[in-house]
Amino acid sequence: MAQAPDSGRLFQEDLKSEPFWMLVACILINRTHWRQVQPVLAKLLARCEGPKDLLSIPIMDLINLIRPLGFYNRRASTLRRFAADWIKKPPRSSEDVAGMTGCGMYAIQSYEIFVENEVPMGVVSDHKLVWYLEQRSEQFKVPDLSVPRAL
C-alpha cells in the first residue's frame, strides 16, 4: 500500500474544478515538494485569474515569484508556454494535455484521475497518485496498477 501524503489529501483534489491551475501546480511541483509549491501557487492565484493573466505577468516578476522552487528560468518559460497552449486550445481530454508544454505523465495522469474521473492507462508510477487510487478503489474499480491496461 502506498504512503499517504502528509496532509492526507492531494492538491489535485482541491484544484480539480480548475484544471488550468491543477496543471500549473503539476508543472510547479516537478522536482520539489508541495510545501514549497503551495505558497508560490497561492501568490499566482492571488495575482491571476487564468492563463491570460499569467501571460501578462512580466517575465522577471514571474521568475521572482517562482524563484523559491528552483529552476526558475525554465519554470517561468514553461508556464508561459503552457498558458499560451491553453489559450490556443484548452484541453478536452488527457490526450490534449499530453500535447501541452510542461505536461508529463504526472500531469496527464492527474488530469485523467481528477478531471476525467478515470483510472489512467498504463502504469501509475507516482506513489501519491497510487495512494489516492487505492483509497478510492470502489469509486474507480482500480485494477492492479503495476500492470499496464490494454489500450
Q: What is the DSSP letter of 112?
A: I
The dotted CATH code for 11-104 is 1.10.340.30
**Mean pLDDT confidence for 90-97:** 98
pLDDT digits (tens, 9 = 90+) for 55-74: 999 999 999 999 999 999 99
The per-residue pLDDT for 149 is 54
Above 80 in pLDDT, residue 144?
no
pLDDT digits (tens, 9 = 90+) for 2-47: 777 888 899 999 999 999 999 999 999 999 999 999 999 999 999 9
**pTM of the predicted model, to two decimals?**
0.90
Residue type, 55: L
Domain boundaries, the chain: 11-104
Average pLDDT, the chain: 92
Q: How far apart are CA 113 and CA 59, in angstroms?
A: 32
Burial (CB count within 10 angstroms: exposed 0-12, middle 13-18, buried 19+), residue 67: middle
Above 60 in pLDDT, residue 142?
no
* Collapsed DSSP state (helix, strand, coil) of residue 136: coil
